[in-house]
Amino acid sequence: MAGMTISKLAKMKANGDKIASITAYDATFSRLFAACGMDFMLVGDSLGNTIQGEQSTLPVTTEDVAYHTRAVRKGAPEAFVVADMPFMSYATPEQAYQEAAKLMRAGANMVKLEGGDWLLETIGGLVERGVPVCAHLGLLPQSVNVLGGYKVQGREQSAAESTVRQALALQQAGAQLLVLECVPIELGKLITQKLSIPTIGIGAGADCDGQILVMHDMLGLNSNYLPKFVKNFLTETGDIASAVELYVKEVKAGTFPGAEHSFE
């Protein structure tokens, strides 16, 4: 994992090499993930659910993400670390610049924002100012109240076409990675083919350039609810390090996610 960069991730896509990633929130796990060959880690605002016990990601602040980014960076000094920008921390371009700076100072290599067309100016401004951006389309957890719950996005033809168009626009604006969450397999495949930047799927099928899971889901720790796109790797292996290694191996081999973890 040492020395992973945006250009190396782009080269992996060009070569057809799958990208394995996972959420991380502390030094102990980031050290383990780096040792197991994880290509990059996301300090996700999912920490609201997994760490803080909140019902959604909305209460998470930039300061929360920065705190966990510092911890992840200390555990894995060489890792490529993406940090989520929390709900309403990038409502305007100017606000996004200020809040992104806090995350970059905390040790992030890149920030992630949820949304499409309305973010184009913000993404362009961040990149111009030296802040790499990962975009995020499909199911947007920060917009769960508008979407009416956690459900698959882009099933209708018009919605699918809109998602493809927005993905291309986000790339054009300067985004260098794109997370696709909870979209049908065919839509994930189409967007991956059309973009020159890597796509990272979570519930978006095996044709994406890479995969990401919330670490607690991958280890089967959220026993009250396991999304369809999740596989519990701990049950097959019996110990955490082996579970992480198996996840990386199956992503690299293209065997995870299978059809049972994907949406038609």
- Binding-site residues for 3-methyl-2-oxobutanoate sit at 45-46, 84, 112
DSSP 89: S
Active site residue 128: no
Which residue of the set 54, 156, 181, 260 is catalytic?
181
For CA atoms 167, 108, 79, 129, give the dihedral sign. Answer: positive
Q: Is 77 exposed, middle or buried (0-12, 13-18, 19+ CB in 10 A)?
A: exposed
DSSP 22: E
Going from the C-alpha of 112 to that of each of 37, 238, 240, the distances in angstroms are: 22, 33, 27
Rounded-to-integer distance, Cα 58 and Cα 61, Å: 8
Residue list for the binding site for Mg(2+): 45, 84, 114
Helix residue spans in the chain (DSSP H)? 6-15, 27-35, 47-50, 62-75, 93-105, 120-128, 144-147, 157-173, 185-194, 215-218, 234-237, 240-253
Q: Are the C-beta atoms of 178 and 13 separated by less than 8 Å?
A: no
The conformational region for residue 53 under phi > 0 = left, psi -120 to 50 = alpha, else beta, is left
Please identify every residue annotated as catalytic.
Answer: 181
